[in-house]
Amino acid sequence: MTTNARRIEERLEELRKLIDYHNNKYYVEDNPEISDFEYDKLYRELEELEADYPDKATADSPTQRVGGKVLDAFDKVTHSVKMLSLSDVFNIEELKDFDRRVKEAIKEPVEYIVERKIDGLSVSLEYINGRFFRGSTRGDGITGEDITQNLKTIKSIPLVLRNENGEVLNIEGLEVRGEVYMPKKSFADLNDKQEELGLQKFANPRNAAAGSLRQLDSSITAQRRLDIFVFNIQAISGKQFETHSEALEFLKSVGFKASPEYKICNSIEEVATQINSIGELRGELEYDIDGAVVKINSLAQRELMGSTIKTPRWAVAYKYPAEKKLTKLKEIRLNVGRTGVLTPLAILEPVSLAGSTVSKATLHNVDFIKERDIMIGDTVLVQKAGDIIPEVIEVDFSKRDGKEKSFEMEKSCPVCGADVVREENEAAYRCTGIECPAKLFRSIVHFASRDAMNIDGLGPAIIEQLLNEELIKGIADLYYLAEHVEKLKDLEGFGQKSVDNMLSSVEKSKQNNIDRLIFGFGIRHIGVRGAQLLAQNYNSIDEIAEAGVEQLIQINEFGLKMAESVVQFFGQEQTKHTLSKLKDAGVNLTSINREEKQDMRFDGKTFVLTGTLTKYKRNDAKRIIESMGGRAAGSVSKNTDFILAGENAGSKLDTAIQLGIAIISEDDFEKMIL
């Protein structure tokens, strides 16, 4: 090895060791020693060296945490040590029963250890010679799923275990158990993002953590900012401990974020006191807990107690009841979310609940209010769902005095005044205004997206900046951004080139056919296919705006709900104002080449796409099929005509074979469309 090669290897090892150290200080000990700038400088140097010398990159390098590997499915893992669940106790009497059983089996003093029961997903982490080898879910306790790539994205999980001297831990095998969770702040940020993108919000941090860990694309997991507390050694080579507390201290010493604030107790009375203390703190913690765990501290005594098939006899989980309080419901307001959904919000007389003061609570929807006969002025029982979201659960009817008032849903949006609609079989009421400020961000993100107007360089972060600076107040304002070039260049992350590129893409989008514009409007029930059908059957946006329901439903594949949505949308004053601005800006509002004879070679034919396509992006293939009169369906049925099968085609291909449906390759498809 040359001197230069040796120097590079030494620097790589030094950087990895330094970054591991500072990761531990920041993510585990919550005690950073250097600034973010200094940390980023070290990290960039490591990235650059590994890029220059890829043969010297290692699987346990800190740079491998970002994710990006996409799996087809998770492999199964059989746990070498069963991952048992815990028996629950719900009150002090049941806790004393547990203590009585322990003392009957162990004829000597017993020391208990009490820990917070983190509300997350239990996982196993395996290390070989101090290096992270594999991570898996608990599953059924015997068999779990290999989620190693996703666990690597959690920065508080050490990829390399080191002793106090910074040396890699010389232990042949180590398996630990931990609880992956999503901090409350990360959960709130994630749900804000879900709402912005028009996606369903997660019910609670535990569900969000579980869903994040089971992503087949680890780069998605990396964005979710998960964390972990390790709470048990499942197996270890060449080392023994006498107590659980000793094992926890060892875990801390080698880089794990171990079970926080545990307490050793010498009596069940001390245990009860500690459980109460944890219960009083739970509203103030940065993460959810769903109880307290009580364990025998002595590992030898645990052996004496043993386990059942499902649970250890030496531990129980104490579950706290959800805290509930009575208070007065003073008012019901409507909150308009970024997708336009109107959610009733209870304005309450402030009440202390689970460690915080609550003055607002969700009422979910109008059906919820009616089912529980909730009225303005009622005395209501409030609790925090999952200790996070305050909600009204019931009315104390004995407190009614006749002054209460029924709640009636507004017929127009409280933010913009547009019509409010409720679809059949849906609980939600929605604002229909295209210019509604409450849902403007989501509307513009959709309008600029690839399947709509396809405006490159106009992602969610930039749209947020433009809205914050009041450079746009509606989708039509995108086409007037050229009037604000100097202001655009002053925005963070913008320069002359990025401004020019964005404005060029905006200008280019003016020439799109109207099917993209229609889809970009975000009309309820009008997807890509519905927009194409309108563009194929009408010469212009003006003609579509003048069409009635009876005319629209004459279009093949166009249903009544679709027709009603189109008529309602184009009847709105906000829509007329937006169309006027788009027309003045020079945006195309006519159907391009509609008069030319259309290629309808796939008319009446249904295609299903499965597997990974290499020659075409999936959306492009669908667009080609639909432009030639065909239909791209999501599932296989007896009405399917062709299966376009790429690499790693799954169960859809099996179903097609059973039904005798024609299976075509990308080469076959290419010949069909030439």
Lowest mean pLDDT: which of 91-100, 110-119, 558-567, 601-610?
601-610
The identity of residue 23, as a single letter, is N
User: Per-residue confidence at 591, pLDDT binned at 50, 70, 90?
Assistant: confident
More confident residue, 357 or 87: 87
User: Per-residue confidence at 63, pLDDT binned at 50, 70, 90?
Assistant: confident
311-352 pLDDT, tens per residue? Answer: 999 999 998 877 788 999 999 999 888 778 898 999 999 988
pLDDT value at position 628? 82
Is the per-residue pLDDT at 65 higher than 80? no
pLDDT value at position 354? 65
Non-local CB neighbours of 450 within 8 Å, separated by 6+ positions: 619
3-64 topology per CATH: Helix Hairpins (1.10.287)
d(CA 158, CA 130): 10
485-510 pLDDT, tens per residue? Answer: 888 888 877 888 888 889 999 999 99
Is the per-residue pLDDT at 558 higher than 70? yes
Closest listed residue to residue 73, CA positions, set 613, 648, 645: 648
Is the per-residue pLDDT at 564 higher than 60? yes
What are the two backbone dihedrals, phi and then psi, of residue 644, each rounded to the nearest 5 degrees?
-90, 105
**Dihedral angle, C-alpha 277, 281, 283, 285, nearest 10 °:** -140
Is the per-residue pLDDT at 605 higher than 80? yes
**Dihedral angle, C-alpha 124, 125, 129, 133, nearest 10 °:** 110
Handedness of CA 338, 343, 344, 345 (dihedral sign): negative
pLDDT value at position 391? 86
More confident residue, 14 or 254: 254
Using alpha carbons only, give the angle 43, 49, 55 rounded to the nearest 5 degrees. 125
d(CA 192, CA 338): 9
Mean pLDDT of 550-572: 91
Q: Is 96 in the active site?
A: no
What are the two backbone dihedrals, phi and then psi, of residue 419, each rounded to the nearest 5 degrees?
-60, 145
138-182 pLDDT, tens per residue? Answer: 988 999 999 999 999 999 999 999 988 888 898 999 999 999 999
CATH homologous superfamily of domain 606-673? Answer: BRCT domain (3.40.50.10190)
Is the per-residue pLDDT at 597 higher than 50? no
- Which CATH number does the domain 437-584 belong to among 1.10.150.20, 1.20.1250.20, 3.30.565.10, 3.40.50.300? 1.10.150.20
- Asked if CATH classification 3.30.470.30 holds for the domain at 87-318, the reply, yes or no, is yes
Is the per-residue pLDDT at 215 higher than 60? yes
Q: Where are the domains of the chain?
A: 3-64, 87-318, 324-399, 437-584, 606-673
d(CA 465, CA 313): 57
pLDDT value at position 60? 77
In this prediction, what percent of the chain has a pLDDT beyond 70?
95
408-438 pLDDT, tens per residue? Answer: 998 999 999 998 988 777 778 989 899 999 8
284-312 pLDDT, tens per residue? Answer: 889 988 899 999 999 999 999 999 988 99
Number of other CB atoms surrounding residue 110 within 10 Å: 19
Lowest mean pLDDT: which of 42-56, 181-195, 628-642?
42-56
Name the architecture of domain 324-399.
Answer: Beta Barrel (2.40)
Non-local CB neighbours of 580 within 8 Å, separated by 6+ positions: none
Judge if 87-318 and 437-584 fold alike in CATH terms: no
pLDDT, the chain, mean: 88
Handedness of CA 263, 264, 266, 267 (dihedral sign): positive
470-483 pLDDT, tens per residue? Answer: 999 999 999 999 99
Non-local CB neighbours of 284 within 8 Å, separated by 6+ positions: 355, 356
520-546 pLDDT, tens per residue? Answer: 999 988 988 899 889 988 999 999 999
Catalytic residue among 25, 117, 155, 252: 117
Strand-pairing partners, residue 228, are: 180
Contact 607, 629 (CB under 8 A): no
Is the per-residue pLDDT at 595 higher than 50? no
